[in-house]
Amino acid sequence: MKANNYDRVLKAMSLCLIEIRASENLKKAQIYADVFHNVPGCIQSGRPEEEIIERALDIAERHKARQIFEKYF
């Protein structure tokens, strides 16, 4: 069985944290945090990278921001 590789997720989360830190827009920062706040737990539980990405994009969709976040992955 192939081990999980989280390179895409970790890179996206790193960029997200930079966006949160640099943002002066509280609403934008809250959306970024909402989209990515479950990622560490998903990695810890061994979920496949594709599942984590789809889960994050589903949350982004609720914020009407899916297209923005698809660029991160």
pLDDT at 3: 56
The per-residue pLDDT for range 1-43, each reduced to its tens digit, is 455 689 999 999 999 999 999 999 999 999 999 999 999 999 9
Q: Which of 65, 64, 38 is nearest to 53 (CA)?
A: 38
The model's pTM: 0.86
**Rounded Cα gap, residues 26 and 10, in angstroms:** 23
Per-residue DSSP letter, 33: H
Instruction: List C-alpha distances in Å: 11 to 7, 8, 47, 53, 62.
Output: 6, 5, 17, 12, 22
